[in-house]
Amino acid sequence: MQERKKYSKGKTLGRGTYADVFLATLKSDPTKTFAIKKIRIAAEQDRIGISYDTLREIRCLQELDHPNIIKLYSVFSTKDQNLNLVLENLPRGDLKQLYLDATIRYSPADIKAWMLMVMRGMWFCHSSFILHRDIKPDNILIASNGEVKIADFGLARTFVDPGQKRPMTHEVITLWYRPLELLFKAPYYGGAVDIWSCACVFAELVLRQPFLPAPTESSLSQIRTICERVGSPTEDNWPGVSKLPDYVATSEVTPQRTRAAWLAEFRILGEQGADLLSKMLALDPDKRLSAEQTLRHPYWTSAPRPTSLELLPKKG
């Protein structure tokens, strides 16, 4: 049977920039539900057919199988030339909706549980040589059992093989979650870009508001925001930074944020949590912890223990 005929389409679950998302059930077993993401190819294409972003999303997702990464079951096209992704249905919203809901209270142990799942998913992506490149709280979806899953791989791509040395595009990652190496247009970058974005999500869960929101939507404004809150990059703390193509020296050099300052703002994470956060926000991508190193950090095993799945707060 044709793939598209296997599903009955249900109500609309949401509308995104490039896609409409519908609930669907399997005709042969209506207890099985899915989310079908119908990508509006007509709007996205420029006479060349399916965009590279869409193809990347498909290729990346099909390769990845991990509890903290959204599952892509299949792909089909419809008569109207739209591309349909049959995804795991994740009906409990995303981390952004969760922290914006003032009626939901959550604890440091809950944040630890969510971040542990995010970092496990991230580690799996990176060990499969896939960068996500658009990590933000609205792209971390929540399953009915409380698990969180990295979604929206539209901008994901495979790591450049270091032997190949193909320069990579910089126009990735929503500005507030973008690290300095991308803002300075470093010709090569790696998993460290996702770690920076994960750290921004970590801080945002604590603050219940974005951590590095530049006042205006420009690279310069974002660079200034990072320098003010994290510290300015210098040849001392990041050898080679001043040679990067779009490096700009800010008029004032803000010293690196101290341990005490991290702990003061993120006290609820404890010493270990504040330490992990600061190491995920190292300005020099070579000094930033890798996904694997974050998982070995003592934060996860220090008190409090991460909340178990069934006890995690979620939207009704």
Site residues for ligand ADP per CB under 6 A: 13-19, 21, 35, 37, 70, 87-91, 141, 152, 154
Written as one letter, the residue type at 181 is E
Residue 118 Cβ vs ligand ADP, minimum distance, rounded to whole Å: 16
Instruction: Determine if residue 112 is labeled as part of a ligand binding site.
Output: no
Residue 57 Cβ vs ligand ADP, minimum distance, rounded to whole Å: 9
- Active site annotation includes 152: no
Q: Helix (H, G, I), strand (E, B), or coil: what is residue 100?
A: helix
> Whose CA is closest to 196, among 215, 216, 176?
176
136 burial class (0-12, 13-18, 19+ CB within 10 angstroms)? buried
Q: 17 or 164, CB closer to ligand ADP?
A: 17
Residue 121 Cβ vs ligand ADP, minimum distance, rounded to whole Å: 14
Residues 6+ apart with CB under 8 A from 249: 242
Q: 217 or 286, CB closer to ligand ADP?
A: 217
CA dihedral (197, 200, 205, 209) in degrees, to 10, reads: -120
Q: 20 or 265, CB closer to ligand ADP?
A: 20
Residue 62 Cβ vs ligand ADP, minimum distance, rounded to whole Å: 15
State the residue number with the nearest CB to ligand ADP.
16
Neighbours of 309 (CB within 10 A): 13
Catalytic residue among 134, 152, 194, 275: 134
Assigned token pair, 38: 């119908």
Give me the residues paired with residue 12 across strands.
Answer: 22
Q: How far apart are CA 120 and CA 134, in angstroms?
A: 16
Q: Quick check: bond before 304 cis, omega within 30?
A: yes
Q: 40 or 229, CB closer to ligand ADP?
A: 40
Annotated binding site for ATP: 38
Annotated binding site: 38
Instruction: Point out the residues that are catalytic.
Output: 134
